[in-house]
Amino acid sequence: MDTSVDTKRTWMSAVGAALLIGVALVVLALVGGRTLPERAGPPIEQLAVEHTELVPGYIEVTVRNTGPDPVQVAQVFVNDSYVDLTGGEQPISHLDSEVLRLDYPWQDGQPYLLSFLTSTGLVIEHEIPAAVTTPQADAGFFGLMALIGTYVGIIPVVLGMLFLSVLRRIGPGGIRVLLGLTVGLLAFLAVDATIEGVELSERGGGAFGGPALLVLGAVLAFLALTALDRYLGSRRAVSETQASSGIRLAFMIALGIGLHNLGEGLAIGAAYAVGELALGATLVVGFTIQNTTEGLAVVAPLTRRRPPLLQLLGLGLLAGTPAILGALIGASVNNAELSALLLGIGVGAIAQVIIQIAPALRDSAGRVLSPATIGGITAGLLTMYVTGLLVVA
């Protein structure tokens, strides 16, 4: 009874404190601004170009106001030539976006510099390195993105999983080396995605937090996968064998790699949409060689059991299919901040998977970083670096 009363009192105190804070915030919002002097100096105008669509005869640009003050776009110049402008008749408020249509006979493959002149005389520039017609979202487009996602996601992972029969013949020491190799592979993927995510978030203008979006995605994914792992662990039987534990670890690795491939596919789709991706045999072969190592990582915990073929196929699809979804999103939406968030999710997922693998690296002396595992981690890092050189985009 006393415990129930204490719980109710705790909740009442928490609700009361929350209400008090809410009232204080409302009062500060209504009164605080009036008690402070107005800001001196010229308005702070900032515009970020979020999306550029090139159609024969005109250019559509989506801009967002990332500054504190409204921005009125008065004129737009393309390579120092004045162009007719449609849209932007009203000032763009803080964090609002506007689609501007520029009537200009651009030529394929040529670079262009867009100069936005605001009503106060400020010039904000955006560069198009090479003009390419933006692909239209039709059936052929979606089919191509699905094909690209299959080439760089599903096929390489499944090919890597074919090495399971070979991996079963190595002893406990070899398994630890293999798991160390897996950690090296995943660590390289996490670092590579982090670097790419920071670059993308800075390109978005920072309207929604910039690099903080990458961190937010990583933390949320890490916490979500940790909660999922705890949930799956609570449902295990007391007599769980090492083999069934290996399936759970393989599932977590496949899920983590799948979330990473979602961000990878998104980057590929975005690069294709702006004409920065060279579609061809080099791209396909390069990604196939690199992502085959991801299949090895998925089956590394399964050397002590013989899972059914459908189970293996499911793990392969879980790890590779998100690349298709990512390619579709990246080519159709092409939003730098969304890309940074999804890449962050992949980073957080990989970090959680590495923590899952770490206990299995211990040798008979209880060392996680034994010479064998250090060699495996180093080999994984070098493998990803060398295979990454084969991907030409």
List the chain pLDDT tens, one digit each, 393 residues. Answer: 556 666 777 788 888 888 888 888 888 777 766 666 666 667 888 888 877 888 889 999 988 888 888 888 989 999 988 898 888 888 888 888 889 999 999 998 889 999 999 988 888 888 888 888 877 767 777 888 888 888 888 888 888 888 787 777 777 777 788 778 878 888 888 888 888 888 777 766 656 667 888 888 889 988 888 888 777 766 654 445 455 567 878 888 888 888 888 877 877 777 776 655 555 555 566 666 667 777 877 887 887 777 788 888 899 899 889 988 888 887 776 667 777 888 888 888 888 888 877 887 877 777 778 888 888 889 888 888 887 776 554
What span, in angstroms and rounded, lies between the C-alpha atoms of 342 and 258? 11
Half-sphere exposure of 296 (CA within 13 A, CB side): 24
Half-sphere exposure of 172 (CA within 13 A, CB side): 6
Nearest CA-CA partner of 279 in 111, 392, 142: 392
Nearest CA-CA partner of 255 in 303, 294, 206, 208: 294
Nearest CA-CA partner of 256 in 179, 317, 345, 149: 345
In angstroms, the Cα distances linking 45 to 34, 39, 210 are 23, 14, 18
pLDDT digits (tens, 9 = 90+) for 129-149: 888 887 776 777 788 888 888
Please spell the DSSP secondary structure of 279-348, one letter per residue: -SHHHHHHHHHHHHHHHHHHHGGGTTS---HHHHHHHHHHHHTHHHHHHHHHHHT--HHHHHHHHHHHHH
What span, in angstroms and rounded, lies between the C-alpha atoms of 212 and 192? 17
Q: What is the reported pLDDT for 108?
A: 86
174 class by beta-carbon count within 10 Å (0-12 exposed, 13-18 middle, 19+ buried): middle
32 class by beta-carbon count within 10 Å (0-12 exposed, 13-18 middle, 19+ buried): exposed
Q: What is the reported pLDDT for 239?
A: 41
Tell which phi-psi region holds residue 375, choosing left (phi > 0), alpha (psi between -120 and 50) or beta.
alpha
Q: What is the reported pLDDT for 217?
A: 86
* β-pair partners for 128: 112
Q: What is the reported pLDDT for 277?
A: 56
pLDDT digits (tens, 9 = 90+) for 51-98: 788 888 999 998 888 888 888 898 999 998 889 888 888 888 888 888
Could you give the strand order of the β-sheet that contains 84-86, starting from the edge strand earlier in sequence?
47-55, 58-65, 97-103, 84-86
Q: What is the reported pLDDT for 362?
A: 79
Q: What is the reported pLDDT for 103?
A: 92
Three-state secondary structure along 94-136?
CCCEEEEEEECCCCCCCCEEEEEEECCCCEEEEEECCCCCCCC
